[in-house]
């Protein structure tokens, strides 16, 4: 199953958002209850291309935005998707702010029946760092409250905290990990995923402010290895294996479809890790080239 844009408006203005403002400018009616149900039914019947991203991946569904929890019929739609996709893992991608309302978080947890996970982006260890990246004052406090409410709710789905690494967030990585360990010490109750940012939408438009090489973010992760080891479930997305420390390689996942990735032949052609490796994100390759890669010979 593909990425499904649940709702096109958002209450954050993240500097590295992969959408352009024109997406939020589309009429909300395009994403209304009736329209979303119609699209899902067409997709399930195999009636032509309905969703654009990850359309060939039948094994999971990602509900994206905008901010999905702002959908005016969020719970009705959530209930419909859960019922029509029995047994299919659903991941809701959110900024977490709506979950600052305890009643909203509780209702969500009661409805998000397994297999279900919720992935929430945290941009830093403080309001100063997080709010500057999210573009909204007060968003850090709401996101942190939302995380706490989800962790406290009975029957909560798997919680994943996402750390998107770019120039504005990577310098604070160590402090962000320390913040999590101090404020969310039950590390078995959630997962953490560090993601090298994708160059698309606003992150492309803001690229001068965000530009960070994979080797730089991988080095920052390597420096934090002792902290990373303290989390029960820590994952890395979008990293070529040759750029991360050996000890971190087993944490790397391939989550992008083949059409969004490349294995430059001069570097990857003879690499023994190629089959287990993501290679390079295509947009990253276009922007930075492949000079950082080093084939692993044995």
Binding site for ligand SF4 (CB under 6 A): 240-242, 263, 267-268, 271, 273-274, 277, 279, 293, 295-296
- For ligand SF4, the closer of residues 209 and 276 by Cβ is 276
User: Could you give the C-alpha distances from 156 to 34, 107, 122, 132, in angstroms and in order?
Assistant: 28, 10, 19, 29
- For ligand SF4, the closer of residues 17 and 271 by Cβ is 271
DSSP-derived secondary structure for 130-175: HHHHHTSTTHHHHHHHHHHHHHHSTTPPEEEEEEEESHHHHTTHHH
Q: How far apart are CA 234 and CA 101, in angstroms?
A: 27
- For ligand SF4, the closer of residues 141 and 273 by Cβ is 273
Task: Name the pairing type of β-strands 158-165 and 3-5.
Answer: unpaired
Q: How far is the CB of 272 from ligand SF4 (least distance, A)?
A: 8
Q: How far is the CB of 47 from ligand SF4 (least distance, A)?
A: 38
Q: 264 in the Ramachandran plot: left (φ > 0), alpha (ψ -120 to 50) or beta? A: beta
- For ligand SF4, the closer of residues 88 and 219 by Cβ is 219
Q: How far apart are CA 60 and CA 57, in angstroms?
A: 7
- For ligand SF4, the closer of residues 90 and 277 by Cβ is 277
Q: How far is the CB of 97 from ligand SF4 (least distance, A)?
A: 36
Beta bridge partner(s), residue 119: 93, 160
Beta bridge partner(s), residue 117: 91, 158
- For ligand SF4, the closer of residues 103 and 275 by Cβ is 275
- For ligand SF4, the closer of residues 155 and 269 by Cβ is 269
CA neighbor of 197 nearest in space, from 287, 267, 292, 271:
287
Q: How far is the CB of 253 from ligand SF4 (least distance, A)?
A: 13
Q: How far is the CB of 179 from ligand SF4 (least distance, A)?
A: 31
155 burial class (0-12, 13-18, 19+ CB within 10 angstroms)? exposed
Q: How far is the CB of 229 from ligand SF4 (least distance, A)?
A: 22
Q: How far is the CB of 100 from ligand SF4 (least distance, A)?
A: 40
95, 120 contact by CB (below 8 A): yes
Q: Which residues contact 175 (CB under 8 A, 6 or more apart)?
A: 124, 125, 126
């Amino acid at each position: 199953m593909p990425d499904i844009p649940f709702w096109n408006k958002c209450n954050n203005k993240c500097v590295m958002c992969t959408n352009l403002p024109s997406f939020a400018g589309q009429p909300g009616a395009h994403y209304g209850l009736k329209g979303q149900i119609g699209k899902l039914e067409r997709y399930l019947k195999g009636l032509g291309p309905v969703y654009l991203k990850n359309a060939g991946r039948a094994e999971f569904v990602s509900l994206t935005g905008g901010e999905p929890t702002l959908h005016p019929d969020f719970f009705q739609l959530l209930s419909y998707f859960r019922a029509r996709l029995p047994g299919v893992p659903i991941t809701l991608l959110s900024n977490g702010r709506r979950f600052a309302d305890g009643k909203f978080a509780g209702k969500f947890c009661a409805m998000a029946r397994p297999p279900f996970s919720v992935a929430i982006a945290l941009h830093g260890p403080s309001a100063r760092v997080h709010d500057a990246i999210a573009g909204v004052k007060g968003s850090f406090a709401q996101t942190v409250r939302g995380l706490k409410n989800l962790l406290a709710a009975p029957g909560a789905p798997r919680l994943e905290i996402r750390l998107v690494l770019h120039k504005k967030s990577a310098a604070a990585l160590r402090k962000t990990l320390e913040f999590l360990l101090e404020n969310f010490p039950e590390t078995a109750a959630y997962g953490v995923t560090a993601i090298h940012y994708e160059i698309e939408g606003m992150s492309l438009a803001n690229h001068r402010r965000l530009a960070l090489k994979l080797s730089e973010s991988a080095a920052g992760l390597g420096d934090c290895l002792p902290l990373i080891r303290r989390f029960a479930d820590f994952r890395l997305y979008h990293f070529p294996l040759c750029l991360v420390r050996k000890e971190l390689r087993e944490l790397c996942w391939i989550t992008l479809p083949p059409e969004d990735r490349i294995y430059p032949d001069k570097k990857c052609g003879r690499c023994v890790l190629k089959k287990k490796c993501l290679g390079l994100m295509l947009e990253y390759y276009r922007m930075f080239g492949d000079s950082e890669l080093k084939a692993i010979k044995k």
